[in-house]
Amino acid sequence: MRDEKFKDVKLGVNLDHIATIREARKAQEPDPVQAALLAELGGADGITVHLRGDRRHIKERDVELLRRTVKTMLNVEMSATDEMVDIALRVLPNQVTLVPERREEITTEGGLDVVLQGEFIKPVITKLTAAEIAVSIFVDPEPEQIRACAKLGVSAVELNTAKYAEGKDPEKELKILEKTAKLASKLGLRVLAGHGLNYWNVREIVAIDEIEELNIGHAIVSRAVYVGLREAVAEMKALLRR
């Protein structure tokens, strides 16, 4: 039997940009729910959507319908506000990932500062876990952030891979991710990762044993323009094999 740490990395497919295309025309399609079905047929282990305060892409109805139809796992990214907590407690996704959010950003720009905001988000985590919703926090790969997450009792952290994927020194950032992933695992946290990953840079992340799941959206939706969503997901899933 293969060692547990060498299991293939799971793939969570972020469908925000399916909704972005829809909202460009304020139309009915493309439909994130149909996209989720195709992603699962392509081998996705989970579906991720970000319900923003301004509802710029994913809507509450999308989340409600996805909860009824997703057969794998539904992960909802959201800010730690009362409004979002109320929605999560009503819809009951499998997992909530707490993320920072600014209206003027195009996409999430950095990790949540858990060191600074730990006391503020602690009640949020308590409410979500009491409802049997797994809680992950999207953080920059910094030891102090990981330790702060562990103290809050969340089940997982999602490491921000933006500096690795988009920075000037990917080798340096890869080493930082490796060290941070080891620390998180040592502290009993499940280790996820994502942001800026694509078909050309993902293999180095897959090689980090402690990382068990990746959330990827833009690259997959972009590839789907040429080959279809099911095939785009299948191609990415193949790259996540160890």
Residue 2 has pLDDT above 50, yes or no: no
CB 68 within 8 A of CB 43: no
Percent of the chain clearing pLDDT 90 (strictly above) = 92
Instruction: Report the chain's mean pLDDT, rounded to a whole number.
Output: 94
Is 17 part of the annotated catalytic residue set? no
| pLDDT tens sequence across 186-235 | 999 999 999 999 999 999 999 999 999 999 999 999 999 999 999 999 99
Domain span at residue 156 reads 4-239
How far apart are alpha carbons 37 and 222 in whole angstroms? 17
Q: Which of 195, 204, 212, 213 is catalytic?
A: 195
CATH number assigned to the domain comprising residue 151: 3.20.20.70
Count of domains forming the chain: 1
| pLDDT tens sequence across 121-133 | 999 999 999 999 9
pTM confidence score? 0.94
How does residue 1 score in pLDDT terms, banded at 50, 70 and 90? very low
pLDDT of residue 124: 97
Residue 105 has pLDDT above 90, yes or no: no
| pLDDT tens sequence across 132-187 | 999 999 999 999 999 999 999 999 999 999 999 998 999 999 999 999 999 999 99
CB 42 within 8 A of CB 231: yes
How does residue 110 score in pLDDT terms, banded at 50, 70 and 90? confident
Q: Which of 17, 50, 178, 213 is catalytic?
A: 50
Q: Which of 77, 101, 158, 212 is catalytic?
A: 77
Residue 107 has pLDDT above 80, yes or no: no
